[in-house]
A = this chain, B = another copy of it.
Amino acid sequence: MPWSATEVRLAQRPTGYPDDSTWEIATREVPDPDDGQIVVQVEYISIDPAMRGWLNDVRSYVPPVKIGAVMRAFGAGTVVSSQHPDFTEGDKVTGLFGVRDFALSSGKGVEKVEADAVSLPTHLGALGMPGMTAYFGLFEIGRPEPTDTVLVSAAAGAVGSVVVQLAKARGCRVIGVAGGPEKCVWLRELGCDEVIDHREGNLTKQVRAAAPDGVNVYFDNVGGDMLDAALANLAVGARIVICGAISAYNAEQLPEGPRRYMSLLVFRASMSGFVVTDYEARYLEAVTEIMRMISDGSLQARETVRTGGVAAFPEALLDIYRGTNTGKLVLKV
Contacts and interface: CB of A to CB of B under 8 A. Distances in A.
A11 interface: no
B271 A271 contact: yes
Interface centre among A59, A254, A257, A258 (most CB of B within 10 A): A257
Given A254-B259, A257-B257, A259-B254, A273 B278 contact: no
A271 B274 contact: no
A260 interface: yes
Nearest to A263: B273
Please give the count of copies of this chain that the complex contains. 2
A90 to B, nearest CB: 38
A120 interface: no
Interface in A253-267: 254-267
Interface string A217-235: 0000001000010000000
Contact of A257 (B242, B243, B258): B258
Contacts of A254: 259-260
A270 interface: yes
Contacts of A278: 268
Nearest to A232: B59
Given A256-B256, A257-B257, A262 B267 contact: no
A14 to B, nearest CB: 18
Interface residues of A, number: 33
A258 B271 CA distance: 12
A271 B264 contact: yes
A223 B59 CA distance: 23
Interface in A24-64: 59-61
Contacts of A262: 223, 242, 245, 248, 273
A88 interface: no
15 contacts: A59-B266, A61-B265, A242-B261, A244-B265, A245-B262, A254-B259, A254-B260, A257-B258, A261-B261, A263-B273, A264-B272, A265-B273, A265-B274, A267-B273, A268-B274
Which 8 residue pairs across A and B have the least CB separation, nearest first? A265-B273, A257-B257, A264-B273, A270-B272, A257-B258, A257-B259, A271-B271, A254-B259
Given A267-B273, A270-B270, 20 more contacts: A61-B266, A223-B262, A242-B261, A242-B265, A254-B260, A256-B259, A257-B260, A258-B258, A258-B261, A262-B273, A263-B273, A264-B271, A265-B273, A265-B275, A266-B273, A268-B272, A268-B273, A270-B271, A270-B272, A271-B272
